[in-house]
DNA sequence: GTGGTCTAGACCACC
DNA sequence: GTGGTCTAGACCACG
């Protein structure tokens, strides 16, 4: 599976930004690597029921950031990977975070509260980064 | 200190939404409780260098959600708490999440990567909620 | 006069690029300086009989390049000047170039030939730079 | 060497147009004359790492402009010269322009600034012509 | 009234 | 069939 975009219309974040952020995230985590192809604009647009221009805008932003490069008639390709997390580290950290999430839900917190707690802790721990 | 609003202009999220979300977050985590007063619109506006209309809009949205109530000439007050997390649970969960964050940083992840991992796991664990 | 945009529809260069390049040029030559306001998107659009989105796209590109910054509800402003040419130098160089152009036309060259000669010499003299 | 094509991918000008324009320029300056052969489409395509269709399109455009004529199985040939500049005039003008360029660089202008100044003056002097 | 986002749809450049 | 450009026009965020 090339990349599964997800949109949250109620988040207030512009669609094109959600898309671009998800690609950035995939790069940061090593899901996407140098040379990989992004799904064609039209495919994403029809899959998400979104205007092709909106997807194109996201891709264009990524291009301006130097992360991908369009090749006319061929598609859009990742141009540089951004210090991906080693697989083992990634597996271990995501597993332990998953456990934490489940314990939180087990303690009775709903989705909103989990996100609120996470946001509060990340802010407090000075975890910067625009990709939220 | 009543509430320390933080704005991230680069996040793409509208200002008024960031403010409202932070109040929601404070309610969810029990920072704000029934009867507490929100900081005056003007104070927030000058502190954040933001148009008072923008702050007012955030408060209005919260009012429409039934979370706060303006009292003419007195200010805006929290009207209902939203299932706050019991203090003990909250303390424990946030402590363990803090440990997780530190282990992630210890493993070499930078802020962006931590946020990316968190976002990926939360999405994957179907943790809904509009407060991101 | 704030800035006189000129479009050459027959050049093959996309409109939004012509606009962005002309702003870049104005910055390079010191016509525009830090803090100056670009003409509003709508004004440019109506003046050039062009779609506002096209102008917005040009401004957006300039923003991504860090040259201008939009302030919601106020306009778009220049954020950094790019080593402008000292006025005296500029005056002298442009005067002598003007003389050259006139001597070329006096020798019977038409506009196309002048441009061709200029392009050939600039290429040959290794004058880089994307703003043509 | 018949003709050294140069492409600037970052210029925003379509590839086929850059090629055709360079041939036009060569004609205007007398580099190419009646009867000269253009380099074969395949050679240009492989040399520039460009699709042969793109080169063919450039040649076709030149043909439609009456500047070149394909001879089946032999190649594409220049059919008419376009008022070439007398050699002496050309030599003198290009030498003086070269001096100007060097004085500009000597005054501290970089490539971009030189091009910006040239473009500004040509525009101002009403030097038309689509070949930029 | 400023810029920003999104949609709908046409047409072009390139492979 | 890929991405790119442009138009037309609606609606939102912000001051």
pLDDT by residue (tens digit) across A67-122? 999 888 888 999 977 666 788 888 899 999 999 999 999 998 888 889 888 988 88
Chains that touch C (3 or more CB pairs under 8 A): A, D
Query: What DSSP element (H or E) covers C77?
Result: strand C75-78
Please name the nucleotide lying closest to A14, CA to C1'.
E5
Query: Is there a contact between B121 and A128 if contact means CB atoms under 8 Å apart?
Result: no
At residue B93, the pLDDT reads 93
Query: Which residues of chain C make contact with D131, given a CB cutoff of 8 A?
Result: 112, 115-116, 119
Q: Rounded to an integer, what distance in angstroms lies between the CA atom of residue C2 and that of residue C31?
A: 9
Residue B1 has pLDDT above 70, yes or no: no
Enter the tokens of residue D79: 């059919």
Handedness of CA A23, A26, A31, A34 (dihedral sign): positive
Query: Is there a contact between D131 and C112 if contact means CB atoms under 8 Å apart?
Result: yes
Query: What DSSP element (H or E) covers B19?
Result: helix B15-28
C56 touches strand F (CB under 7 A): no
A17 touches strand F (CB under 7 A): no
Q: Rounded to an integer, what distance in angstroms lies between the CA atom of residue B46 and that of residue B66?
A: 26
Strand order in the sheet with C37-38: C37-38, C75-78, C68-71
Could you say which of A85, A120, A127 has the minimum Cβ distance to residue B25? Answer: A120
Kindly identify which residue of chain C lies nearest to residue A63, measuring between CA atoms: C64
Q: Rounded to an integer, what distance in angstroms lies between the CA atom of residue D100 and that of residue D109?
A: 12
Is the Cβ–Cβ distance between B78 and B33 less than 8 Å? yes
Kindly identify which residue of chain D lies nearest to residue C11, measuring between CA atoms: D130
Please name the nucleotide lying closest to A37, CA to C1'.
F2
At residue A132, the pLDDT reads 40
Give tens-digit pLDDT for C41-78: 999 998 888 999 999 999 998 888 888 988 877 889 99
The reported pTM is 0.82
- Please tell me what DSSP assigns to residue D68: E
Interatomic separation, CA of residue A54 and C1' of nucleotide E10, rounded (Å): 17
Q: Do chains B and A touch by CB distance (3+ pairs < 8 Å)? A: yes
Q: What are the b/e assignments for C78-107, b being 16+ CB within 10 Å?
A: beeebebbeeebbeebbebbeebbeebbeb
Predicted confidence pLDDT, tens digits, chain C (132 residues): 567 888 888 878 888 988 998 998 888 888 888 889 999 999 999 888 899 999 999 999 888 888 898 887 788 999 877 666 788 888 899 999 999 999 999 998 888 889 888 988 887 776 665 444
Q: Comparing B10 with B41, which gets the higher pLDDT?
A: B41
Handedness of CA B106, B108, B112, B114 (dihedral sign): negative
Residue A2 has pLDDT above 80, yes or no: no
Mean pLDDT over B94-123 rounds to: 91
Query: Is there a contact between B111 and A90 if contact means CB atoms under 8 Å apart?
Result: no
At residue C41, the pLDDT reads 92
Could you say which of A29, A108, A122 has the minimum Cβ distance to residue B120? Answer: A29
Residues 6 or more apart in contact with residue B106 via CB below 8 angstroms: none
Q: Rounded to an integer, what distance in angstroms lies between the CA atom of residue A34 and that of residue A87?
A: 16
Interatomic separation, CA of residue C73 and C1' of nucleotide E1, rounded (Å): 7
Residue B30 has pLDDT above 60, yes or no: yes
Interatomic separation, CA of residue C76 and C1' of nucleotide F10, rounded (Å): 23
């Amino acid at each position: 599976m090339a990349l599964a975009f997800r949109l949250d219309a109620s988040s207030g974040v512009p669609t094109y930004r959600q898309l671009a952020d998800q690609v950035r995230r995939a790069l940061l985590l090593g899901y996407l690597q140098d040379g990989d192809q992004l799904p064609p604009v039209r495919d994403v647009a029809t899959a998400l029921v979104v205007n092709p221009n909106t997807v194109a805008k996201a891709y264009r932003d990524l291009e301006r950031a130097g992360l991908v490069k369009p090749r006319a008639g061929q598609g859009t390709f990742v141009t540089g990977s951004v210090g991906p997390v080693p697989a083992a580290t990634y597996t271990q950290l995501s597993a332990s975070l998953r456990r934490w999430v489940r314990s939180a839900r087990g303690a009775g917190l709903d989705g909103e509260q989990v996100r609120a707690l996470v946001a509060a802790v990340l802010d407090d721990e000075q975890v910067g980064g625009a990709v939220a």
